Chains A and B, each alone.
Chain A
Amino acid sequence: MSRTLTVAEMALREISRRRGVLILLALLPLAFYYSRRGEAYWQSVRFVSLGIGWTLSTAALFAGSAARAVEPRLRLSGYATHQLYLGRLAALWTVGLALIVPYFLLIRFDLDNVRHGPVALILLLTVAVAAPFGLALSALLPRELEGMLVLLTVVAMQMLLNPDKAVAHALPFWFTREIGVYAIEHDAGTDHVLRGLIHASITLTLFLTLVAVSSSLRLRRRPHISVA
């Protein structure tokens, strides 16, 4: 446990020193929020969560790529693979939680006609899914540019695709729309929340599995080595 916490602490220190990333991380969702605040306030809730999802996934992508250089050495130094990715995930989730607090407060005081509990749920689930999503991308696409293009594509599709289409259900942040319906439309049933929760759980499990499997493969002890 202490090793995992040490990895988390160092990952947090690394992220906190990327000032440019932190500023973008903090401000980009705000731009998403105000892009829809005027004419379609109900969409601004979903857009701000997509903004948070995108920026946190990007931060995770870069954190995962940067870690590739040092992780083999950490494995040789005695770390287990799961300690490395869980520590990094814990750091990213911490950053995400710190990020959503001001946005939740903004929505709380700026929008009266929404259910604030479900809004908090959307933001929490977005943070939960975005961190392993970015790490999974960094594992599958080692070059950051390729990962960024995939992230851009996902967010653009998330915004443009009709959420009722089946293909939209395969997108990682589809749950934001589903729970958002319940948060905004007062006559909507809780079945939206249930569907959103199921979608977020499946997505989270999928990305966590991807991160675990890809890390375990990359950092595995090779069979030709025997250590006495």
Chain B
Amino acid sequence: MTVDDWLAAFAAELRRRRVEPAGLVAEAAAHLRDSGRAPLQVFGPPTAYAVSLVDSLRGATTELRRPPSGEPRLAAVRIVKRYGRSTVLDGVDLSVHAGEVVAIIGANGSGKSTMLRICAGLLTPDSGHVRIRGTIGYCPQEGGTADFLTPDEHYVLIGAGRGEPREQARERGRTAAATLDWPRSSGSPVARHLSGGTRQKLNLVLAGLGDPDVLLLDEPYQGFDNGSYLDFWQQVWRWRDAGKAVVVVTHRLAELDRADAVLDLTPRSPR
């Protein structure tokens, strides 16, 4: 790996983590020039070095929680859901504003996906109600795509529902896919031949098509590699910056500082 290649990969990883690369890259380049040694010997792999650097700088990054400032987009009030004798959700409240990211966490079976499906209107609660201001984009944990359609055809199909012309929907879908490290291509195979991670990227792109106001994402990063996972959060923050209300069901507790608020559905824990 040449110095330029290493520096380019280092800069790309920093950008992925929303850290301005110019200063850090210049510093690393100067150090390499002075030492005259290969970058892999000095710093190790560029991705790993960027990760450790960002972790050490994390307190200085701008992606930490911020209080909601926009109007309320989603308000779920006293949601109760029972399956047989088991009460999965017991009076759960959730409020999400424009420009806010809320993470829903909880153990397996704690009702995270159930809560999201109730918010999307796909499942009826035993009691409680949900108010939505605007349109919904929903990314299910699994399913949500048609086995025998290509990604472009998915974009056209969803776009038509949103009232988008065919070419525009296709272009917007491809552009959104590219931001998730999924190269633009017109010759993609049908969905059933995509890898699990790529299929989830398609699922995520479809959720954002048509510019919905509220995005409900149910563990959408299943099968993503580390880079794509970071790209996913970049996309979430872009949505937040664009004034969308975003709800992400997640089980990765280490990443909760990426959300502005957290709803913990773990039984007997304070909510």
Contacts and interface: CB of A to CB of B under 8 A. Distances in A.
Interface of A: 2-3, 6-7, 10, 13-14, 17-18, 66-67, 69-70, 72-74, 76-79, 221-228
Given A14-B149, A222-B121, A78 B206 contact: no
Contacts of A76: 120-122, 136-138
Given A18-B148, A70-B146, A222-B123, A13 B162 contact: no
A226 B157 contact: no
B15 interface: no
Sorted nearest first, the 8 A-B pairs with minimum C-beta distance are: A77-B161, A69-B143, A78-B161, A14-B148, A6-B160, A225-B121, A17-B148, A79-B161
Interface of B: 118, 120-125, 128-138, 140, 143-149, 153, 156-158, 160-163, 190, 206, 209-210
A7 B145 CA distance: 14
Nearest to B122: A72
B170 to A, nearest CB: 13
B121 A221 contact: yes
Contacts of B206: 73
Given A10-B146, A73-B158, 16 more contacts: A3-B160, A6-B156, A10-B156, A10-B157, A14-B148, A17-B190, A66-B146, A66-B147, A67-B146, A70-B145, A72-B138, A74-B157, A74-B158, A222-B124, A224-B118, A225-B129
Contacts of A13: 148-149, 153
Contacts of A10: 146, 149, 153, 156-157
Contacts of A70: 143-146
A67 B145 CA distance: 9
B132 A228 contact: yes
A228 B134 CA distance: 6
Which of A14, A18, A77, A223 has most chain B Cβ within 10 Å? A77
Contacts of B121: 76, 221-222, 224-225
A226 B161 CA distance: 20
Most chain B beta carbons < 10 A, residue from A2, A227, A228: A227
Contacts of B210: 77-78
A73 B132 contact: no
A144 to B, nearest CB: 13
A3 B161 contact: yes
Contacts of B163: 78
B82 to A, nearest CB: 14
Contacts of A3: 160-161
Given A76-B136, A228-B131, A223 B124 contact: yes
Contact of A14 (B122, B140, B146): B146
B138 A226 contact: no
Contacts of A18: 148
21 contacts: A3-B161, A10-B146, A66-B147, A69-B145, A70-B144, A72-B122, A73-B206, A76-B122, A76-B136, A76-B137, A77-B158, A77-B161, A222-B124, A224-B121, A224-B124, A224-B125, A224-B128, A224-B129, A226-B130, A227-B131, A228-B132
Contacts of A228: 131-134
A14 B146 CA distance: 8
Contacts of B133: 227-228
B147 A73 contact: no
Nearest to B157: A10
The listed residue with most B CB atoms (<10 A of its CB), out of A3, A18, A78, A225, is: A225
A79 B131 CA distance: 20
Given A74-B158, A74-B161, A226 B148 contact: no
Contacts of B124: 222-224
Nearest to A6: B160
A153 B131 CA distance: 47
B87 to A, nearest CB: 17
Contacts of A7: 157
Nearest to B160: A6
A140 B16 CA distance: 48
Nearest to A17: B148
A225 B130 contact: yes
Contacts of A74: 157-158, 161
Contacts of B161: 3, 74, 77-79
A15 B163 CA distance: 25
